[in-house]
């Protein structure tokens, strides 16, 4: 006869408390992440405290000292009207680090909302909006942005708005795909069965699960935003003529490259490159960590 004993509960948590480090700890272990953050931090400091750090006044023109090669007095040399390139590079971080992030935030917020709606609700809305988005995207983003800036002027606000709005459909497309994947899962049906309405399902149920995707997308777009702002400045549509602006400085000075005066062009260019690379190192690390 089988002996009957009382059921031992013994219901321990099966998987031992996963020895998983929180995401940010994992990130700090990656040299690419740390490197990227350091670069970004450097430029952020320059953006905020630029005027205090810069050795010379970035706006001061000393026409007799123009086009001087890098020396101990002017580490990066001087430009065509005698301004110290190093100071201009340091202070120039400000504009780009205001416009680009704000534009990206705008695009991300709008793009996320749009992507959630299109991905979850689908249907007619998706088809119609899809057509419009395709029309906008029929041209490369840079050109579209360029056209709008030419038409509307290149103030900081305009650039933020235009870049933000053009990024919205691009970000929405990525969010939409991620949302469509989530929509296959059953927890959404459970939420519907509770009587939850679409809005709540999108923002309370789905959004937390696509946040990682959005975060990565944000860093990628930030890189592109900086790319775009710099390019616009190079094409002559910089934000503000008076404050130092990397792209505008390049625009102003590259004509004399042929004569051998390369420093006023190269150093701002390297600054742009380093900033974008920094962001991409950070973004790439985040993506790797989130992918598990």
Partner 1 sequence: MTQNDAAAAPATLTAPAVQVDNMDVTYTVRGHDRLALREVSFEIGRNESYGLVGESGSGKSTVALALTRYLPRNGRVSAGSISINGQDPLAMDAATLRGMRARTVSMVYQEPGKALNPSIRVGRQVAEVYEIAGVGHNEAMERTQAMLGKVQISDPGRVMDRYPHELSGGMAQRVVIAMAIAAEPSLLILDEPTTALDATVEAEVLDLVAGLRTELDTSVLFISHNLAVIAKMCDRVGVLYAGELVEQGPARQLFDDPRHPYTVGLLRSIPRQGQRKDHGRLDTIPGFLPPPGYDLTGCIFAPRCSLAEEQCRQAEPPAFDTGPGRTSRCYRHDLAPELPRTTPADMMLPSAAVETSDPVARLRGVSKTFGGRDEAVQALVGIDLDIQRGETLGLVGESGSGKTTLARVLLGLIPPDADATVELDGQPLGPGIPQRSRDQLKALQIVFQNPDSALNRRHSVRRLITRPLVKLAGLSGSALRDRLADLVRSVRMEDRHLALRPRQLSGGLKQRVAIARAFGGGPRVVVCDEPTSALDVSVQAAILNLLADLQAKEQVTYLFISHDLGLVRYLSDRIAVLYLGRLMEVGPAERVFSGPHHPYTEALLSAVPSLDGEAPDRIKLTGEIPSAANPPSGCVFHTRCPRRLSSGICESTEPPLAEVEPGHLMRCHIPIDQLTSLQGSGSAS
Partner 2 sequence: MVGYLLRRISLAIVTLWLLSLLVFFAGQVLPGDPGRAILGNLAAQRAVKTLDHQLGVDRPLLTQYWTWISGLLHGNMGVSYQYRSAVAPFLASALVNSAKLALLALIVIVPLGILGGVIAALQVGRPLDRIISLTGLSASTVPEFVSGIVVIVIFGVELKVLPVTASAGQGASFGTQLRYLILPVIPLIFVLFGYIARMARAGTIEALESDYARTATLKGLKRSVVVRRHVLRNSLLPTITVIATQTGYLIGGLVVVETLFNYPGIGRLIYNAAQSKDFPMLEAGVLTIGVVYMIATILADVLTITLNPRLRTGMIR
Choices 10-18, 82-90, 148-156, 278-286; region in contact with partner 1 by CB under 8 A: 10-18
Within residues 51-70, the interface with partner 2 by CB under 8 A covers: none
Longest dimension (CA), the chain: 109
Contacts of 46 (CB under 8 A, 6+ apart): 53, 90, 91, 93, 94
With CB cut-offs between 5 and 8 Å by kind, which of partner 1, partner 2, none does residue 12 bind?
partner 1
Decide if residue 127 touches partner 1 (CB under 8 A). Answer: no
16 touching partner 1, by CB under 8 A: yes
Among 87, 112, 213, 265, binds partner 2 (CB under 8 A): 265
Whether residue 169 contacts residue 145, with contact meaning beta carbons closer than 8 Å, is answered with no
Rounded to an integer, what distance in angstroms lies between the CA atom of residue 262 and that of residue 257?
Answer: 5
Angle value at C-alpha 117, between 111 and 121, nearest 5 degrees: 155
The residue from 143, 194, 241, 259 that contacts partner 1 (CB under 8 A) is: 194
Label residue 112 exposed, middle or buried (CB < 10 Å: 0-12, 13-18, 19+).
Answer: buried
The window from 105-113, 133-141, 182-190, 245-253 that contacts partner 1 (CB under 8 A) reads 182-190
Q: What's the rounded Cα separation, in Å, for the pair 41 and 32?
A: 14
State the distance between the two ends of the chain, measured CA to CA, in whole angstroms: 51
Length of the chain: 292
Question: Contact between 123 and partner 1 (CB under 8 A)?
Answer: no
Contacting residues toward partner 1, per CB under 8 A: 2-5, 7-18, 184-187, 189-196, 205, 208-209
Contacting residues toward partner 2, per CB under 8 A: 32, 131-132, 134-143, 146-148, 150-152, 223-224, 227, 230-231, 234-236, 247, 250, 254, 257-258, 260, 262, 265-266, 269-270, 272-273, 276-277, 279-281, 284
């Amino acid at each position: 006869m089988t002996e009957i004993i009382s059921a031992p509960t013994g219901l321990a948590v099966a998987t031992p408390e996963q020895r998983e480090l929180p995401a940010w700890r994992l990130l700090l272990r990656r040299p690419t992440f740390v490197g990227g953050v350091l670069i970004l931090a450097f430029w952020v400091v320059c953006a905020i405290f630029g005027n205090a750090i810069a050795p010379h006044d970035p706006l001061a023109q000393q026409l007799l000292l123009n086009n001087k090669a890098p020396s101990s007095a002017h580490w990066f040399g001087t430009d065509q009207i005698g301004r110290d390139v190093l100071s201009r590079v340091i202070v120039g971080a400000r504009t780009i680090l205001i416009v680009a992030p704000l534009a990206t935030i705008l695009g991300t917020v709008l793009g996320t909302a749009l992507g959630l709606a299109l991905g979850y609700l689908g249907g007619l809305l998706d088809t119609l909006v899809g057509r419009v988005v395709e029309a906008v995207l029929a041209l490369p983003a840079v050109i579209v942005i360029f056209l709008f800036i030419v038409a509307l002027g290149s103030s900081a606000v305009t650039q933020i708005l235009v870049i933000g709005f053009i990024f919205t459909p691009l970000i929405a497309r990525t969010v939409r795909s991620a949302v469509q994947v989530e929509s296959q899962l059953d927890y959404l049906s459970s939420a519907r069965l509770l009587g939850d309405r679409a809005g709540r399902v999108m923002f309370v149920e789905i959004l937390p699960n696509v946040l990682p995707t959005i975060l990565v997308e944000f860093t990628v777009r930030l890189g592109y935003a900086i790319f775009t702002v710099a390019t616009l400045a190079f094409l002559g549509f910089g934000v503000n003529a008076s404050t130092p602006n990397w792209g505008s400085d390049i625009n102003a000075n590259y004509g004399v490259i042929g004569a051998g005066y390369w420093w006023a062009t190269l150093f701002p260019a390297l600054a742009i490159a380093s900033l974008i690379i920094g962001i991409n190192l950070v973004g790439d690390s985040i993506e790797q960590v989130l992918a598990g």
